[in-house]
Amino acid sequence: MPEDKSRPSQEQPWENGWAPDTSRAPGTRRLWFAGGLAVATVLACVTAIALNDRPVDEKSEAGRQQTLSDDETAGGLISFATPSGSGSPTPTGKQHLSASPSPSASPEPSSSPRPQGSSSPGVSTAPSAHAPGKPSKPPAYGDERSVQAVNYPDRYWHVSDSLVKLDAPRGSESREDSTFHVVTGLYDGSCVSFSTHDGRYLRHRNFILRAEYNDGSSLFRQDATFCPGYSGYSGAVLFQSVNYPNYALRHKDFQLRLDPYGYNTTNRTDFAFRLAGPLG
Phi and psi dihedrals of 171, rounded to 5? -75, -175
- Cα separation values, 250 from 49, 143, 165, Å: 98, 22, 10
pLDDT for residue 108: 39
Distance CA(241)–CA(185), nearest Å, equals 11
Which residues are CB-neighbours of 20 under 8 A, at least 6 positions away?
10, 13
Residue 83 lies in a domain: yes
- Domain holding 36, by residue range, is 30-88
Residue type, 217: S
pLDDT for residue 273: 97
Residue 16 lies in a domain: no
Phi and psi dihedrals of 58, rounded to 5? -65, -40
Distance CA(44)–CA(129), nearest Å, equals 93
Residue 238 lies in a domain: yes
217 C-beta neighbours (distance < 10 Å), count = 9
Tell me which of 88, 120, 136 is where a domain ends.
88
Residue 114 lies in a domain: no
Tell me which of 22, 56, 88 is where a domain ends.
88
Estimate the share of the chain in helix, then strand, then coil, as percent rounded to the nearest 5: 25, 25, 55
Same domain, 176 and 250: yes
CATH of the domain at 235: 2.80.10.50
The ranges of the chain with pLDDT < 70 are: 1-27, 52-142, 280
Residue 201 lies in a domain: yes
**Intra-chain end-to-end CA distance of the chain, in Å:** 171
Same domain, 80 and 155: no
Same domain, 159 and 271: yes
pTM above 0.75, yes or no: no
Helix (H, G, I), strand (E, B), or coil: what is residue 88? coil
Same domain, 150 and 256: yes
Residue 95 lies in a domain: no
Tell me which of 48, 64, 88 is where a domain ends.
88
Residue 126 lies in a domain: no
Same domain, 75 and 197: no
Phi and psi dihedrals of 243, rounded to 5? -100, -5
pLDDT for residue 37: 85
Give the chain's domain count.
2
Same domain, 251 and 161: yes
Same domain, 83 and 197: no
pLDDT for residue 260: 95
Same domain, 58 and 177: no
Do residues 20 and 10 make contact, with C-beta atoms less than 8 angstroms apart?
yes
Residue 111 lies in a domain: no
